[in-house]
Amino acid sequence: MPESAVLLPLIIIFSGALLSALFGLPWLNRRLTVTQLSWLLALAPLSSFCILVSFLDNLQANLILSWQVAWLPSIGLIAGLYLDSLSGLFGLLITLIGTLVIIYAGQYFKGDRSAWRFLTYMLLFMGAMLGLVMAGDVLTLFIFWEATSIISFLLVAYKYNDETARRGAFKALFITGGGGIALLIGLLFVSHVCGSTSFITILASGDLLRNSTFYPVILALVALGGFTKSAQFPFHIWLPDAMSAPTPASAYLHSATMVKGGIYLMARLNPVLGQTEIWFWLLTLVGMATMLAGAYLGLKQNDLKSLLAYSTISQLGMLMVMIGQDIEIAFKALVIGILAHALYKSALFMVAGIVDHQTGTRDLRRLGGLRRSMPYTFGVGAIAALSMAGLPPLFGFLAKETLLATAFHPSLPNMVAWIFTLASIVTGALMFTLAVMLLWDTFMGEPRDPTVRGHEAPKTMVLAPAIPAIMSLILAQLPGPKDEAALLANAARAAHGFKVKVSLALWTGLNVPLLLSALAISSGVALFIYREQVREFQARLAPRLTFNTLYDGILATIDRSASWATRLQQGKLRTYLVIILAGTVMLFIGFRGLSLELDLSVMRWPSLSFSGEMAILRIFALFLIVGASLASIVVGSDFTAILALCASGFGIAGLMVLESAPDVALVQIVVDILAMVILVLALARLPRLQRLKAQDVTFRQSPAGLGRDALIAVVSGVMVMLITLSALLSRSRQSVVTPFYQANAKTMVGSKSIVGAIIADFRGLDTLIEIGVFSLAGLGIYTLLRYAARKFGDTGSQLDELPVPSAPPFPTLGIGGQKPSSFIRVLAYVALPVAMVIGVTDIMYGHDQPGDGFTAGVIISLAVGFWYVVFGYDETRRRLNWLKASPLIAAGILLAIFTGIMAAFINGNFFSNVDFGHMLGLPLPKGFHLSTSFLFELAICLSVLGSVTHMLNTLGHPGEKDTENTRRLQEIEELEKQ
């Protein structure tokens, strides 16, 4: 079996989640009912369960399965999975109970068409949880750990219209997420000490960790993570509030999975972090407090699910105590406790869900007497509750016996042993009372509220809790369930670090634990009989200050300090800009300004000759750039300013020609024009009055304000100048990588243009991302303007649905509402095909001559932009209705990725060059290569064309406020009539 087989259970479950998400599509959603969908999806965890079982043979021999992949090998990061008996035990519980819960959810959400969302979350959670227990290194563990926190947030807040659900979800995320951050830091410390993030190394460096100076820090941080996740005192407050989750989620998250994550973590790290004094005290004290607090508070509850939540807290506390002990029997108690609790608690949650589902209430004060109307549910509930109560012959009895045996173990310090035994008896008694109370008040006696009537739930819904309930009966009965015992023994050994003997024999003879157990049960009976009095007493004793008050206080403080901090915000965009820029300038002056080393002696002054540098032309270009930019400040009209800007851009293009960079110059020219077109379109889209008003106030501010702006501008200008000088003078003249490009452009890429080779091949991935960004800009503009239109009442919202007039006259005219002359119209007609020819030529011969896919795309788009200017919005959209922006973008990006992958298949390198024309011996024109570079350039052209089309379509849309156009149109029509 290959090592990567370990991945299989995870892949199956995540595919299930994907499948479930697909059922969000209406046409697929109609095909299956929720129940059918749940049966289908349950196959995913079921098959994962089977695969894990098939791994059992390996696990029983106490082998581990591990799989690793180098993630960032240069900094020693790996990602991997690790499966041993401990992970296996958790994995089996996760997938088994997961299967049942999915089926159960199918019944619970019967008829709810949107339940695919719930099932998707559940499967995602399942995958994350499985990943958590199977993680092979600390980072994988942390990622899955956080994933469980986040998905549990989504599950708890599933009924997002309900405020308590949202609050509960936030609380859970706040506490477990905070713990997660602590855990991350702790785990980073661990891997720092061990020198590796892999568990294989970490689990072998116990002494290193325990003797490290960081040990107390690591312990505190890791424990914080584990305690918050496992709802240990005082972090337990999130669990009861998380009960606002739909019951299938509670049955899964809060019995066998989410909260057990913390237990798993502590058990996993126990062999390396444990066996120390501080570990013992920390886990024992916190666990014991949790154990008692959970059981005590549980007795106060009237809600079925809250009661279960508190008993879960108590149980988790007990498991935490077990991990803290350094004796063999504690780990027997740990694994049996995990298994027993997962079985009976998931069953009880599901039973509570059935009761809620069938009667409409979970309030113990209203329920009662349901045994007659819901006999099967009663039967299942009885088995599970008696297991929780710790009565023989159920598995829960075994769990309690081993717990008591641990508490009474002679190796414990005297004082601790007494307190521990006492705490175990009290908890045992309280758990007994809780279980019996839950069973009695729901099913026995007469209904307290006569309006509450129930009828039996569908068979499958009862079947789901029946399986774990029956398992807790059978597991305790089998004469020698060897396999289970062996798995448990190995799991306990993984958690303990030493061999642990586990037998599942129910009767171990008349001994002290049995007597203690009897004592606990009899006190439980007494408590149950006098429960009303006890609860009254509890209500009087209720402290005013709880941890929830503290939690609320912390949140309120955060809110208050946030609003205090934001009082500084005064809300004006320009002030923020001033602050940001002034801050940057000050940072520069403070840190770097004085230490810039300027070696002016290496500087070359312009030599006024035409032989080498054409210095005069360069100086002229620089003057043009600076002068035109300056003009953009001083001119009064915005439109003139845009023209000045355009001139400045041309100056830059000229400088690029002089610097012998023809490719760049070409792109600069087309982009400069495009920028101007888009600026003018945006300007034209603003309402005229608003535009003029803003134009008037360009410089209207106090002299001091103007001075401040000028100062900031001048200082940042000087700063940039100094940085530039220092960069230009202190760097080596000779580039290190350029010679490689020069030498290999022709041989490796088959391109004479070195710049083109870099763009299309050497840095192809860069270019792919670049067109991705550019496409996103186009899509973003489209989305933004549509959104704005819907929000602020502009016709743009119907950009797609806008009725396109079928025949002239078209309602909008060119820019400014002018009707262009026939000459210009003909010119525009001709421009587009010519631009396309130029574009295609650009792509075909871009290898050897200036020009590339980007230029081609922009040139074609410019012709389209010209149409907008000449014909106006409506006519252009009508005549160019084949120009579909989003499909073009999609086609471009897909083609680019496809090209890269194709090259990877042929050459083994993503985006390497493959010349198909040469390969196939096609008769192609000279200088044209049908190669991957050509396809890639074509892809760039398509996506750029699509993106610019989006920009033009949205910014070029006249908007309803532009009444000027319509008025002009009417005038023209009237003139024509005359």
Partner 1 sequence: MELLTAIAIGILFAIGVFQLLRRNIIRSAIGLIILANAVNLFLLSTGAYIGVEPAYVSNTTGVLSDALPQALILTAIVISMGGTAFVLSMLYIISARYKTSDMDEIDGLKN
Query: Smaller CB distance to partner 1: residue 513 or 857?
Result: 857
Per CB under 8 A, does 528 bind partner 1? Answer: no
Q: Which of residues 622-641 bind partner 1 (CB under 8 A)?
A: 622, 625-626, 629-630, 632-633, 638, 641
Tokens representing residue 333 in the block: 């108690």
Dist CA 386 CA 308 (whole Å): 14
Separation in Å, CA 49 to CA 64, 124, 693: 17, 16, 70
Per CB under 8 A, does 610 bind partner 1? Answer: no
> 190: closest CA among 232, 137, 144?
137
Contacts of residue 28, defined as CB under 8 A and 6 or more positions apart, other chains included, come to 22
Q: Which of 181, 534, 596, 671 binds partner 1 (CB under 8 A)?
A: 671
In terms of C-beta density within 10 A (0-12 exposed, 13-18 middle, 19 or more buried), how is residue 748 classed? Answer: middle
Least separation, in Å, of the C-beta of 943 and partner 1? Answer: 11
DSSP 3-state of 390:
coil
Dist CA 828 CA 670 (whole Å): 17
Query: Smaller CB distance to partner 1: residue 22 or 718?
Result: 718
Q: Which of residues 536-555 bind partner 1 (CB under 8 A)?
A: none
Query: Smaller CB distance to partner 1: residue 25 or 727?
Result: 727
Cβ atoms of 658 and 618 closer than 8 Å:
yes
> 464: closest CA among 964, 46, 22, 926?
46
Least separation, in Å, of the C-beta of 788 and partner 1? Answer: 4
Q: How many residues bind partner 1 (CB under 8 A)?
A: 122
Backbone angles phi, psi at 72, to 5 degrees: -130, 80
SS (H, E, C) 810-826: CCCCCHHHCCCCHHHHH
Least separation, in Å, of the C-beta of 935 and partner 1? Answer: 19
Least separation, in Å, of the C-beta of 898 and partner 1? Answer: 21
Least separation, in Å, of the C-beta of 225 and partner 1? Answer: 37
Query: Smaller CB distance to partner 1: residue 716 or 818?
Result: 716
Least separation, in Å, of the C-beta of 548 and partner 1? Answer: 31
Contacting range for partner 1; rule: CB under 8 A; set: 311-319, 323-331, 755-763, 813-821: 755-763
Cβ atoms of 129 and 257 closer than 8 Å:
yes
Least separation, in Å, of the C-beta of 801 and partner 1? Answer: 20
Tokens representing residue 708 in the block: 């401040």
Contacts of residue 698, defined as CB under 8 A and 6 or more positions apart, other chains included, come to none
Least separation, in Å, of the C-beta of 942 and partner 1? Answer: 15
Q: Which of residues 766-825 bind partner 1 (CB under 8 A)?
A: 766-767, 770-771, 773-774, 776-778, 780-781, 784-785, 787-788, 791-792, 794
In terms of C-beta density within 10 A (0-12 exposed, 13-18 middle, 19 or more buried), how is residue 906 classed? Answer: middle
Query: Smaller CB distance to partner 1: residue 773 or 830?
Result: 773
In terms of C-beta density within 10 A (0-12 exposed, 13-18 middle, 19 or more buried), how is residue 561 classed? Answer: exposed
Distance of CA 212 to the CA centre of its chain: 34
Query: Smaller CB distance to partner 1: residue 558 or 721?
Result: 721
SS (H, E, C) 460-514: HHHHHHHHHHHHHHHHHHCCCCHHHHHHHHHHHHHHHCCCCCCCCCCCCCCCHHH
Contacting range for partner 1; rule: CB under 8 A; set: 47-55, 98-106, 290-298, 678-686: 678-686
Compute the chain's Rg from CA coordinates. 37
Per CB under 8 A, does 951 bind partner 1? Answer: yes
Q: Which of residues 222-261 bind partner 1 (CB under 8 A)?
A: none
Per CB under 8 A, does 190 bind partner 1? Answer: no
Separation in Å, CA 419 to CA 328, 426, 488, 706, 839: 20, 10, 28, 76, 85
Q: Which of 173, 218, 219, 678 binds partner 1 (CB under 8 A)?
A: 678
Contacting range for partner 1; rule: CB under 8 A; set: 116-124, 645-653, 931-939, 962-970: 645-653
Per CB under 8 A, does 914 bind partner 1? Answer: no
Q: Which of residues 952-971 bind partner 1 (CB under 8 A)?
A: 954-955
What crossing angle do the helices spanning 163-194 and 138-156 adopt, rounded to 10°? Answer: 180
Query: Smaller CB distance to partner 1: residue 767 or 913?
Result: 767
Query: Smaller CB distance to partner 1: residue 55 or 866?
Result: 866
Per CB under 8 A, does 868 bind partner 1? Answer: no
Least separation, in Å, of the C-beta of 965 and partner 1? Answer: 18
Least separation, in Å, of the C-beta of 798 and partner 1? Answer: 16
Least separation, in Å, of the C-beta of 608 and partner 1? Answer: 11
Contacts of residue 198, defined as CB under 8 A and 6 or more positions apart, other chains included, come to 68, 78, 80, 136, 137
Q: Which of 53, 525, 661, 891 binds partner 1 (CB under 8 A)?
A: 661
Q: Which of 442, 648, 861, 899 binds partner 1 (CB under 8 A)?
A: 648
Tokens representing residue 329 in the block: 């029997």
Q: Which residues pair with 67 in a beta bridge?
A: 81
Q: Which of 854, 867, 871, 936 binds partner 1 (CB under 8 A)?
A: 854
Q: Which residues pair with 77 in a beta bridge?
A: 72
The structure tokens 């929720």 sit at: 34
Dist CA 318 CA 331 (whole Å): 12
Per CB under 8 A, does 714 bind partner 1? Answer: yes
Per CB under 8 A, does 281 bind partner 1? Answer: no
Contacting range for partner 1; rule: CB under 8 A; set: 29-37, 280-288, 358-366, 707-715: 707-715
DSSP string over 179-220: HHHHHHHHHHHHHHHHT-SBHHHHTT-HHHHHHSTTHHHHHH
Least separation, in Å, of the C-beta of 13 and partner 1? Answer: 39
Query: Smaller CB distance to partner 1: residue 550 or 776?
Result: 776
For 342, the enclosing helix (H) or strand (E) is helix 328-359
Contacting range for partner 1; rule: CB under 8 A; set: 183-191, 378-386, 411-419, 751-759: 751-759
Dist CA 6 CA 51 (whole Å): 9
Site string for partner 1, 560-599 (x = CB under 8 A): ---------xxxxxx-xxx--x------------------
Contacting range for partner 1; rule: CB under 8 A; set: 400-408, 509-517, 553-561, 759-767: 759-767
Separation in Å, CA 806 to CA 23, 110, 758, 825, 880: 39, 50, 47, 19, 13
Q: Which of residues 284-323 bind partner 1 (CB under 8 A)?
A: none
Per CB under 8 A, does 38 bind partner 1? Answer: no
Q: Which of 328, 441, 663, 937 binds partner 1 (CB under 8 A)?
A: 663
Q: Which of residues 686-705 bind partner 1 (CB under 8 A)?
A: 686, 690-691, 693-695, 697-701
Query: Smaller CB distance to partner 1: residue 369 or 649?
Result: 649
Q: Which of 63, 725, 802, 930 binds partner 1 (CB under 8 A)?
A: 725
> 322: closest CA among 233, 420, 190?
420
Contacting range for partner 1; rule: CB under 8 A; set: 20-28, 311-319, 444-452, 757-765: 757-765
Per CB under 8 A, does 887 bind partner 1? Answer: no
Dist CA 424 CA 390 (whole Å): 12
Separation in Å, CA 113 to CA 36, 102, 691: 12, 15, 50
Q: Which of 425, 674, 768, 945 binds partner 1 (CB under 8 A)?
A: 674
Query: Smaller CB distance to partner 1: residue 106 or 778?
Result: 778
Query: Smaller CB distance to partner 1: residue 126 or 785?
Result: 785
Q: Which of residues 918-947 bind partner 1 (CB under 8 A)?
A: 947
Query: Smaller CB distance to partner 1: residue 226 or 850?
Result: 850
Dist CA 80 CA 409 (whole Å): 39
